[in-house]
Amino acid sequence: MLEQTGCGYLQFDNVSFSWPNGVKVIDQCSFSIVKPGLWMLVGENGSGKSTLFRLISGAIRPKSGNIFCSLRPSMVYQNPDHQLLMPTCKSELMLSVPKTVKDRNLLDLIQSALDKVELGEMLDRPIHTLSGGQKQRLALAGAIVSNSNLLLLDEPTALLDPKSQTSVLNVIKKLTSSSSDPITAIWVTHRLEELNFCDKAAIVKNGCLSNWNSGSKVFQELKSLALR
């Protein structure tokens, strides 16, 4: 029985998934996340990481097993240019505001989301003038303003320079460790140095997750495997 924290939870219970050609990508995968934080996944290409995200988001359904998720997921991709559609930060975030939000609260909600990702002065800034890191943080603001509390981050720093990588990591750490309203983030990475920022990490291999461990322990395990 899962111990729920009141912040929502995610659980995979013996989940398997195969593509129509019969290739099994996820194989009796079981894991749980029961509290907010930054949870990182590492694994080789083809190990099943992206398919896990599609299952969590509901884009595809498992062939067997069960998925329980009381969180509201939102995807953030490698390339923010594939995700940002409008000319300014304000107009972009307006696309993601839930229909239930009253007009008088609209700008306050958008401004609050920009403040959380350290873009508070950029309400009317044209998106084409933003750096790669700023664009990625704007994509994060879009998830926040949509009322998502589970961010699915698919190598979000892969196309960024080191300074921008750190800025995105720091914003995510701030969001996941907030004392008032922390969110949950699952971050797929190939950059092993990013494991230093996570709360817990797991290795994805052959469609399954290892046990959650500290980022430093997973880092050492992967280094030892590479040396063999």
Residue 130: inside a domain, yes or no? yes
Q: What is the mean pLDDT of residues 57-63?
A: 95
Residue 27: inside a domain, yes or no? no
Q: Tell me what pLDDT residue 1 has.
A: 36
| Number of domains the chain contains | 1
Taking only the tens place, the pLDDT of each residue in 33-49 is 999 999 999 999 889 99
More confident residue, 37 or 224: 37
Q: Mean pLDDT over all residues of the chain? A: 92
Q: What pTM did the predictor assign?
A: 0.92
| Helix segments in 47-201, DSSP class H | 49-57, 89-94, 103-116, 132-145, 162-176
Q: Tell me what pLDDT residue 8 has.
A: 59
Angle at which helices 103-116 and 132-145 cross, to 10°: 140
Residue 101: inside a domain, yes or no? yes
Judged against a pLDDT cut of 80, whether residue 159 lies above it is answered with yes
Residue 164: inside a domain, yes or no? no
Judged against a pLDDT cut of 90, whether residue 162 lies above it is answered with yes
Quick one: which H or E segment has residue 216? Answer: helix 215-227
Rounded to whole angstroms, the Cα distance separating 214 from 40 reads: 10
Q: Tell me what pLDDT residue 195 has.
A: 95
Residue 206: inside a domain, yes or no? no
Residue 45: inside a domain, yes or no? no
Q: Tell me what pLDDT residue 4 has.
A: 42
Angle at which helices 132-145 and 162-176 cross, to 10°: 20
89: tokens are 């930060």
Quote the percentage of the chain above a pLDDT of 90: 82
Range of the domain at 113: 81-147
Residue 113: inside a domain, yes or no? yes
Judged against a pLDDT cut of 70, whether residue 227 lies above it is answered with no
Per DSSP, the residues of 46-64 read TSSHHHHHHHHHTSS--SE
Rounded to whole angstroms, the Cα distance separating 191 from 201 reads: 13
For the chain, the distance separating the N- and C-terminal CA atoms, rounded to the nearest angstrom, is 39
Taking only the tens place, the pLDDT of each residue in 98-156 is 888 887 788 999 999 999 999 999 999 999 999 999 999 999 999 999 999 999 999 99
138: tokens are 């704007």
Residue 211: inside a domain, yes or no? no
